């Protein structure tokens, strides 16, 4: 599917390509802003060089790949402040500034440079996203008015700048309320207030966290589905949606703290296109040139909607929650999930290229105006630091706590989920893991009381224990607000566990278990066999994984530089390379003590 052109619109881009561009990095790694933006900045600098544009990069983190001297033409490792950036601009005299690839840090600095008159003084053009657009999407007052102007629904809300204003609205609206500070990253300073004591504390925290001392108070949509769309637009108003992603965890947990699945699994065709059209309408209304992330709350499954019992009747089947007018954390996930290089394409659009002018570097056959098609399932699971801080607050809310994430690809949701779980590096923990205290009481009702089914890092394992204990899937769905489709998928995994416990292993059951993502070690544990015995049986029966391509086009075109994932299927799409070879093993998910530095080492080793 290709992007399409909307007629009769003012072109916001300039046809003149800048000769020199300043790229702002994201600074030190913090929760919510990690290796994803090093990936984006590196892609952007390389893309700009391909276009003959001189790149000037400023970043304060020496462990990043983007600060290598073969990525940008000039690299400044300096503090990311207005004063330092003005000195760099004065020295280098760039034609343009690209702030949309350095996370929230880059975006906020672009606004600060404009407010300080620096961009006007040195005649530096803001590329990709107009300043007015940044304000519209980041300033909560402007964003609310923008959605009203384009007739897109949002939950009842108000913007406040003081605790007194907040108290008045809270009294009128009632609890629970969501607090979202303006111009912050990863939900910093925000949260969900269910008591008046918590309400005042979160509002005060949000006002302090926001650079403009502003927070949005919003009617809670806790329990609704959370859906994200990654959208790209060029200066000719061509738009495509690169990827849509569904959060397994419902609204109430920050998307960075949610298990995310791509493509969406539970949306009807009508819902998918309703949200797709809204995403395109939003990016066009904002005039963004490049990538954009749009987040929606979608009315939940009827059985869950009944159990919410909020006393509030929603007027719309969906609400717009947030728009990131930049390459976001989710953009890295979407790029790897689809094989579509969002940051690379966004950088080329920022210097005047059109979607249909940009070749897709992965396929070598299609253009960037070609919407990716996925014939596989991708699952992302956050990596929290609670193994290092076991006494920390494990509840997850709208303020992100995860330090990193893992991604797994397979032909089914169940297999991708199991593979992602094992990738977390939590003491070799698979979905078989259980906390011994959860089953201390025998009856399902007693077990249900003990299971941590609220939003926390253990909920996935708690749901599995509930299903193994005979608790009805609909009860699990109503307790967690997780869509029944996902609970049914977990039930299929549990049924296979029961078969492996009770049946004699043969080639058929082993094939089915491998297709559902069970490792040899899991199968051995359930079948009372050693992993080596399971492996020997599997190889004797000819059951081996094959490798499939991530090629953006579901094999419709032949890919030139694909990458691969393993699965238990028939056809292998990864012929072995000839010549001398070496394996480089990466460091896994980012966690405290093992961060982007090892990504840097692995890249250079390769």
Domains identified in the chain and CATH numbers: 20-126 (3.40.50.20), 156-219 (3.30.1490.20), 225-383 (3.30.470.20), 426-546 (1.10.1030.10)
Q: Sign of the C-alpha dihedral, residues 243, 64, 324, 287?
A: negative
Query: Is the previous residue joined to 348 through a cis bond, with omega within 30 degrees of 0?
Result: no
Q: Within 13 Å and on the Cβ side, how many CA atoms surround 551? A: 20
Q: Please state, in angstroms and rounded to a whole number, the distance separating the CA atoms of residues 364 and 356.
A: 13
Q: Please state, in angstroms and rounded to a whole number, the distance separating the CA atoms of residues 374 and 230.
A: 14
Q: What is the 3-state secondary structure (H, E, C) of 50-99?
A: HCCCEEEEEECCCCCCCCCCCCCCEEEECCCCHHHHHHHHHHHCCCEEEC
- Is residue 181 within 8 A of residue 190, CB to CB? The reply is yes
What pLDDT, on the 0 to 100 scale, is given for residue 30?
85
Counting every residue written for the chain, the total comes to: 606
- In the numeric block, the tokens 């008046």 are attached to 196
The DSSP secondary-structure symbol of 427 reads S
- In the numeric block, the tokens 């303006």 are attached to 182
What pLDDT, on the 0 to 100 scale, is given for residue 309?
60
Q: Which residue ranges of the chain lie beneath pLDDT 50?
A: 1-14
Q: Is 260 helix (H, G, I), strand (E, B) or coil?
A: strand
Which whole-number Å values give the CA distances from 577 to 363, 415, 418, 586, in the listed order?
A: 18, 27, 29, 20
Q: Which among 375, 290, 426 is positioned nearest to 553, based on CA atoms?
A: 375
Q: Please state, in angstroms and rounded to a whole number, the distance separating the CA atoms of residues 349 and 156.
A: 35
- In the numeric block, the tokens 């699971």 are attached to 381
What pLDDT, on the 0 to 100 scale, is given for residue 552?
78
Q: Sign of the C-alpha dihedral, residues 517, 472, 318, 175?
A: negative
Q: Which among 402, 395, 466, 461 is positioned nearest to 252, based on CA atoms?
A: 395
CA torsion 360-369-100-261 (nearest 10°) is -80
- Is residue 523 within 8 A of residue 534, CB to CB? The reply is yes
Query: Is the previous residue joined to 263 through a cis bond, with omega within 30 degrees of 0?
Result: yes
Starting at the edge strand found earlier in the chain, the sheet holding 239-247 runs 318-324, 290-298, 225-233, 239-247, 260-262, 377-383, 404-410
Buried-state track 78-104, b at ≥16 Cβ within 10 A, e below 16: eebeeeebbebbeebebbbbbbbbbbb
What pLDDT, on the 0 to 100 scale, is given for residue 69?
83
Q: Please state, in angstroms and rounded to a whole number, the distance separating the CA atoms of residues 570 and 342.
A: 31
Q: Which among 332, 428, 416 is positioned nearest to 387, based on CA atoms?
A: 428
In angstroms, the first-to-last Cα distance of the chain is: 35
């Amino acid at each position: 599917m290709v992007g399409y052109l909307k007629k009769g619109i003012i072109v916001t881009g300039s046809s003149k390509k800048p000769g020199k561009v300043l790229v702002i990095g994201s600074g030190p790694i913090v929760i919510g802003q990690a290796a994803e933006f090093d990936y984006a900045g590196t892609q952007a600098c390389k893309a700009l060089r391909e276009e003959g544009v001189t790149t000037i990069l400023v970043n304060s983190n020496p462990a990043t790949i983007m600060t290598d001297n073969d990525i940008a033409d000039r690299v400044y490792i300096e503090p990311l402040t207005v004063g330092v950036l003005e000195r760099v601009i004065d020295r280098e005299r760039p034609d343009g500034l690209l702030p949309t690839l350095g996370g929230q840090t880059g975006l906020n600095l672009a606004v600060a440079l404009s407010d300080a008159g620096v961009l006007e003084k040195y005649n530096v053009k803001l590329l990709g996203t107009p300043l007015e657009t940044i304000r519209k999407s980041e300033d909560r007052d402007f964003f609310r008015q923008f959605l009203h102007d384009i007739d897109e629904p949002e939950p009842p809300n108000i913007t406040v700048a003081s605790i007194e204003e907040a108290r008045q609205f809270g009294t009128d609206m009632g609890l629970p309320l969501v607090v979202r500070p303006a111009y912050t990253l990863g939900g910093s300073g925000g949260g969900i207030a269910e008591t008046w004591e918590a309400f005042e504390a979160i509002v005060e925290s949000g006002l302090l966290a926001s650079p403009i001392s502003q927070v949005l108070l919003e009617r809670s949509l806790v329990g609704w589905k959370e859906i994200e769309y990654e959208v790209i637009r060029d200066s000719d108003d061509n738009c495509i949606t690169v990827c849509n992603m569904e959060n397994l965890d419902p609204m109430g947990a920050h998307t960075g703290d949610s298990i995310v699945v791509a493509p969406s699994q539970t949306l009807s065709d009508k819902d998918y296109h309703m949200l797709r059209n809204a995403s395109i309408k939003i990016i066009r209304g904002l005039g963004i040139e490049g990538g954009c992330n749009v987040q929606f709350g979608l009315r939940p499954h009827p059985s869950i909607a009944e159990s919410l019992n909020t006393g509030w009747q929603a007027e719309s089947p969906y609400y717009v929650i947030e728009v990131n007018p930049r390459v976001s954390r989710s953009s890295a996930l979407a790029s790897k999930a689809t094989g579509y290089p969002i940051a690379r394409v966004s950088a080329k659009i920022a210097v005047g290229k059109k979607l249909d002018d940009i070749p897709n570097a992965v396929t070598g056959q299609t253009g960037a105006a070609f919407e990716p098609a996925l014939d596989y399932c991708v699952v992302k699971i956050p990596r929290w630091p609670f193994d290092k801080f076991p006494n920390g607050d494990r509840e997850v809310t709208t303020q992100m706590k995860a330090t990193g994430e893992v991604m797994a690809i397979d032909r089914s949701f169940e297999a991708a989920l199991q593979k992602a779980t094992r990738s977390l590096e939590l003491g070799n923990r698979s979905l078989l893991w259980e906390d011994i205290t959860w089953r201390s009481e025998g009856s399902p009702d007693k077990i249900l009381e003990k299971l941590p089914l609220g939003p926390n890092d253990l909920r996935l394992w708690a749901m599995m224990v509930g299903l193994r204990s005979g608790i009805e899937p609909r009860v699990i769905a109503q307790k967690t607000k997780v869509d029944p489709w996902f609970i049914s998928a977990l039930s299929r995994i549990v049924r296979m566990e029961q078969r492996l416990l009770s049946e004699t292993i043969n080639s058929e059951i082993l094939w089915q278990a491998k297709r559902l993502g069970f490792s040899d070690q899991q199968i051995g544990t359930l079948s009372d066999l050693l992993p080596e015995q399971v492996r020997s049986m599997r190889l004797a029966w000819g059951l081996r994984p094959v490798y499939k391509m991530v090629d953006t086009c579901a094999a419709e075109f032949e890919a030139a530089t694909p990458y691969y994932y393993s699965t238990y299927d028939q056809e292998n799409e990864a012929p072995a390379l000839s010549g001398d070879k070496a394996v480089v093993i990466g460091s896994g998910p980012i966690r405290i003590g093992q961060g982007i530095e090892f990504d840097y080492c692995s890249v250079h080793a390769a």
